[in-house]
Amino acid sequence: MSEHTRPVVIAARRTPISTRGMRLRGRSVHELAAPVIRRCLADAERAIGSSLAVGDVVLGNCMGPGGNIARLSALAADLDVSVPGMTIDRQCGSGLSAIITASDAIRAGDSRLLLAGGAESASTAPLRIAHGVPYARAAFSPTGFPDPEMGPAAQELAAAFGIDRDRQDAYAERSHRLALVQLEAGGFDNELVALDELGRDDSPRERMTDLLPRFPSLYPTLDGPATGSVTAGNSCRISDGAAVVAIVSTGSRGDAPGLALLAHATIGCDPALPGIGPVAAVNQVLAAAGVSLDDIAAFEIVEAFAAQSLAVLYSLDLATPDFVDPRVCSGGGALALGHPWGASGAVSVVRLFTRLVREGAPAGSLGIATAAVGGGMGVAALFEVVR
């Protein structure tokens, strides 16, 4: 790859994230994405100092109505009708995979600005029917393979890694506590695109130390129906939201600071334990770039479940039963903010942009975004600050 065609994120924005059925329940998925696209493009043009031709809009989405949501969003954002759109479904990795896909187009020589990310309106997701019967989700794996729901799969990881209820609750409390600190300090303000219905994330909760023990177990174990350790409190909330980044080539960025994509990986794993997928993906990007986790300044994992997140962090030596590396989700994660499936991987990149670019990390600082994917996959991307 020529240094001239290295992809660089020069702008990154997201909506506030809201729990399904709450403040953003009236917005369709493209109505969430469109204002973020507009604002992200304006940020990019301000950073470059001139207007920019948009080559494509690539968005991740899991449960929307179809119809190429990226194209709908591009039109709703008042982009020129010549700008196309492509929608990607890699479940919870969709938003990050969209950013990777757009970046690969720039690696291949596309010299235009590309907008990429994800959007999800769980509140307006349509009812789906197969063989005359409604269903909540499509199969992640075909007949003959394990196809667990993500919650029971997290419970299996908790058992496999010996992660007890107290440890899961402590990790969930950490996420809420860190997110509340960010909220009160205005640490999210520069990445948010306020909407009429909502100006800030509405899911982080105070008093989680008191609340978490009250949640009942969601999934049984062999010891009985009330013995599981995964609860609604140490699981993410299903949410609405959108996140978008603007990507250009190194040769087009001028003096604009940003995050250059150094390496990425998407790898399959045992579909019975899909939450462990990020481990192999992270290790592959580290090997590809010739760096170690000690070299990473910021780490963002999509926190679908405390048990799942901890299993990954234990495997990467980023956590122990008594410690979580402070580089991990330092402003909280999906356990506190919520999990808008198709957008969450892109939210992780927006968070990296704030932590590393907006907050002044020196050139050369490294960050990783990663997510587990239903069906048994992990996706990870390694970024470097350029100034």
**Would you call 75 exposed, middle or buried from its count of C-beta atoms within 10 A (0-12, 13-18, 19+)?**
middle
Backbone angles phi, psi at 30, to 5 degrees: -70, -25
CA distance 75 to 69: 10
Length of the chain: 387
Backbone angles phi, psi at 298, to 5 degrees: -145, 140
Half-sphere exposure of 247 (CA within 13 A, CB side): 33
CA distance 10 to 386: 10
CA 26-70-123 angle, 5° bins: 25
Question: Is 236 among the catalytic positions?
Answer: no
Residue in the structure block whose two tokens are 């090997």? 287
Extract the tokens encoding 45: 């043009």
Question: Is 339 among the catalytic positions?
Answer: yes
Query: Which of the following is catalytic: 92, 236, 269, 329?
Result: 92
CA distance 277 to 300: 15
Query: Which of the following is catalytic: 30, 176, 264, 339?
Result: 339
The CA–CA distances, whole Å, from 93 to 97, 107, 227 equal 6, 21, 30
Q: Which residues are catalytic?
A: 92, 339
